[in-house]
Amino acid sequence: MPKLAKAEQTLFQTMSETGATPVPLNSHRLLIMPLEDHLGDLLAKARAMTDLTLETAAQTAGLPAARYAEIESTGQIPGSLDLAPLARMIELDPAKLQAIADGWLPAARDLARWPHLHQIVTEREGTTVNCYLVWDEATRAAALFDTGWNTVEVRRLVAAHGLRLETLFITHAHTDHVAALDEVVRHFPGVRVRRKLADGDGTAVGNLRVRVRATPGHASEGLTWIVDGWPGGAPAVAVVGDAIFAGSIGRGFQSWLLARAGVREQIFTLPPETLLCPGHGPVTTVAEELAHNPFFPSAPPA
C-alpha cells in the first residue's frame, strides 16, 4: 500500500489525538480522500502514454530496472531521486509531479454549497468507484450519474428525501460504472437511461440543467455531464467519469491523444471554479487541475 500523503497523515494523526471520528462524505463535510493514482501509477500511465520501455525509464531515472519497477508498483521513491529528467521524457510536468510525490492533495471541500449533490462510494473486491446523486429541492426530481457497484445508498437517499429518480446519466460503459444498471431500472422502473445527448444539448432535472460534452479517449463513448442552475449561484458541477482524476487521468484505452485533448478542450474550458466529480478519488476543480495535474504541463515562461 502506498505511503499516506502528508495531508492525510496530519489529518489522521489529529483525529487519533483528539479521539475524533471520520465524518461521512454525505454529511456535507468532506474527509480528505486519497488520490486515485499514487506517484507510481502516474509514472506507469505516462510511460504507457509515451510508449517508453521500463528499462529506458529506469535508465533515465538512474536506477536498476527492478528498483524502478518497485517505484511504479508502490509509489514510494528514495528521497534523493530527481524526478525531473524522467518527467520530461514521459511528458509530465516536473514540478507538478514532484508536488504529488511530496503529498499534494486537492483542497477538501464542503459540499454544503451543493446541498443536493451526494457523492456515493461503493466497493467490490478492493475496487472503489464513485457515482453521484443530485436533485432539485423544489420538485424532488432526482438524477443519478453512473451506478457504482450497487444501489444500497442510492435507494436509502431517495427514500429518506422523498425523491423521484427520473434519469440515469452514464459517463461510460466500463463495468464498475454501470454494474448496478439493471438494479437501478428494477428499483426505479420509470427511470430514463441517458447514454448520449447531442453535444451541448441540455435536459432538465427539475430546475437544474444538465448539458453534455464528449470526452473520449479512456472510452470511445466517454461523456462529461455538466449540471448547473444550483441554488445560491453555486458553481457548475461536472461529472467527468474517468476522463480526469485529481492529479491524474484515466488510462487511454481508446487513445491517449484523445484522452488529453478531451480534457483540455472540453473540461479545462469550463469556468475555473467548476467542481469536478470523477469516477474515482476525491472531487477537485478545473482551477486545481490546471495548476496541479502533471499530465498537463504548464506553459514555459515567455
Give the model confidence (pLDDT) of 133-189 as tens digits: 999 999 999 999 999 999 999 999 999 999 999 999 999 999 999 999 999 999 999
Class for domain 111-292, per CATH?
alpha beta
What is the share, in percent, of the chain residues with pLDDT greater than 90?
A: 81
Q: What is the DSSP letter of 231?
A: G
CA distances from 272 to 164, 221, 284 (A): 32, 25, 11
Strand 141-145 to 164-169 pairing? parallel
Task: Report whether pLDDT(14) > 50.
Answer: no
Task: Report whether pLDDT(300) > 80.
Answer: no
Rounded CA-CA distance 189/185 in Å is 5
* Confidence (pLDDT) at 236: 98
Q: Among 15-29, 194-208, 250-264, whose mean pLDDT is lowest?
A: 15-29
Give the model confidence (pLDDT) of 216-254 as tens digits: 999 999 999 999 999 999 999 999 999 999 999 999 999
* Confidence (pLDDT) at 160: 97
Element (H, E) at 184: helix 181-187
Strand 127-135 to 117-124 pairing? antiparallel
Burial class (CB in 10 A: 0-12, 13-18, 19+), 75: buried
* Confidence (pLDDT) at 45: 98
Topology of the domain comprising 1-105: 434 Repressor (Amino-terminal Domain) (1.10.260)
Task: Report the SS3 class of residue 217.
Answer: coil
Cell of 5: 500523503
Tell me the domain boundaries of the chain. Answer: 1-105, 111-292
Q: What is the DSSP letter of 22?
A: P
